[in-house]
């Protein structure tokens, strides 16, 4: 999925980054996000860190503001919205 970062530059997000964003914006804690994505917790944090770097945001507050601004823009453009599905997996 191609979006614009905080600076207006186009960025491409992976399926994991999109899923993590959706879960994070619903208020889900990172350990629960990792569980839903069938990932170790440290991998979920890494995906979030990589995502925030792509978006040009430095902290959770900026991440939330970016999401709200992007959502307003995409709703005005009638962008399709998707809800991630739960992955099934065993974490060791």
Contact 25, 48 (CB under 8 A): no
What's 84's DSSP letter?
P
Examine the pLDDT at 11 and tell me if it is beyond 50. Answer: yes
Tokens representing 28?
A: 């889900």
Taking residues 40-48, what's their average pLDDT? 97
Domains of the chain in start order, with CATH, are: 11-76 (1.10.10.10)
Q: What is the pLDDT of residue 78?
A: 44
Please report which helix (H) or strand (E) contains residue 3, including its range.
Answer: strand 2-4
Q: Where are the beta strands (DSSP E) in the chain?
A: 2-4, 10-12
Examine the pLDDT at 5 and tell me if it is beyond 90. Answer: no
Q: Give the separation between CA 44 and CA 35, rounded to whole angstroms.
A: 9
């Amino acid at each position: 999925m191609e979006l614009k970062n905080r600076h207006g530059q186009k960025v491409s997000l992976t399926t994991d980054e999109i899923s993590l964003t959706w879960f994070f914006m619903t208020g889900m804690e990172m350990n629960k996000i990792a569980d839903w994505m069938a990932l170790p917790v440290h991998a979920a944090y890494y995906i979030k860190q990589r995502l925030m770097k792509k978006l040009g945001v430095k902290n959770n507050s900026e991440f939330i503001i970016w999401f709200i601004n992007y959502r307003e823009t995409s709703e005005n453009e009638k962008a399709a919205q998707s809800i991630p599905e739960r992955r099934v997996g065993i974490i060791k």
